[in-house]
């Protein structure tokens, strides 16, 4: 499989970034939800929080690489072409996911720092961007939680759209983001 996108599908770089970030986003959602069930002040709650922060900062770093690659590479066409309203919704959904992958880690870091805690990533302490302010920390945490819930719904819609393309519309939308063998299987099934 080529590194770069072509008319048949996304290249290995775009596919790897997509699936890695999908795992990280779903992982951080699951960790955040599990953290809500951990006893307050427990080592488990702190540990899950640390995992959540690590994944969040990792997503923040990777999203910039992914955006740079996406802007550099042409998007493989969906065949048959989507109606304009579906194409517009698709692009809005994609860009909303990118925006949240930037905003959520920033909000999380600012919320943590404004409560007086340092944020570390792989053992390195991030620079402090905001002063200690408990009231602001609660507000930032509320906004972070709200947008986290929006992210959950966008992920669900993204998966539902992929299923619609693969099972109902039977176009090549999903086949573009999978490996060559899976792409052949999906394309053959769609031609039936």
Task: Give ∠ CA 159-164-167 in degrees, rounded to 5.
Answer: 115
* pLDDT tens column, 112-156: 999 999 999 999 999 999 999 999 999 999 999 999 999 999 999
* Domain 12-191 sits in CATH 1.20.950: yes
* pLDDT tens column, 93-102: 999 999 999 9
Question: How high is the pLDDT of residue 183?
Answer: 52
19 in Cβ contact with 85 (< 8 Å) = no
Q: What secondary structure letter does DSSP report for 99?
A: H
Q: SS3 of 122, please?
A: coil
Q: SS3 of 178, please?
A: coil
CA dihedral 8, 12, 17, 18 (to 10 degrees): 30
Residues of the chain with pLDDT under 50: 181
Domain locations in the chain? 12-191
pTM confidence score: 0.89
């Amino acid at each position: 499989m080529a590194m770069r996108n072509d008319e048949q599908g996304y290249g290995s770089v775009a596919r790897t970034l997509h699936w890695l970030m999908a795992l990280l986003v779903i992982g951080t959602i699951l960790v955040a939800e599990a953290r809500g069930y951990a006893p307050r002040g427990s080592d488990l709650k702190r540990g899950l929080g640390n995992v959540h922060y690590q994944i969040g900062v990792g997503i923040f770093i990777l999203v910039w690489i992914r955006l740079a690659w996406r802007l550099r590479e042409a998007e493989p066409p969906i065949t048959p072409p989507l109606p304009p309203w579906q194409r517009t919704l698709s692009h809005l959904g994609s860009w909303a996911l990118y925006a949240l992958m930037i905003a959520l880690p920033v909000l999380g870091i600012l919320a943590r720092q404004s409560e007086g805690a340092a944020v570390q990533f792989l053992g390195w302490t991030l620079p402090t961007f905001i002063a200690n302010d408990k009231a602001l920390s609660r507000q930032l945490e509320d906004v972070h939680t709200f947008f986290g819930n929006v992210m959950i719904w966008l992920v669900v819609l993204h998966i539902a759209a992929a299923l619609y393309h693969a099972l109902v519309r039977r176009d090549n939308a999903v086949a573009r983001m999978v490996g060559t063998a899976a792409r052949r299987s999906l394309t053959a099934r769609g031609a039936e």
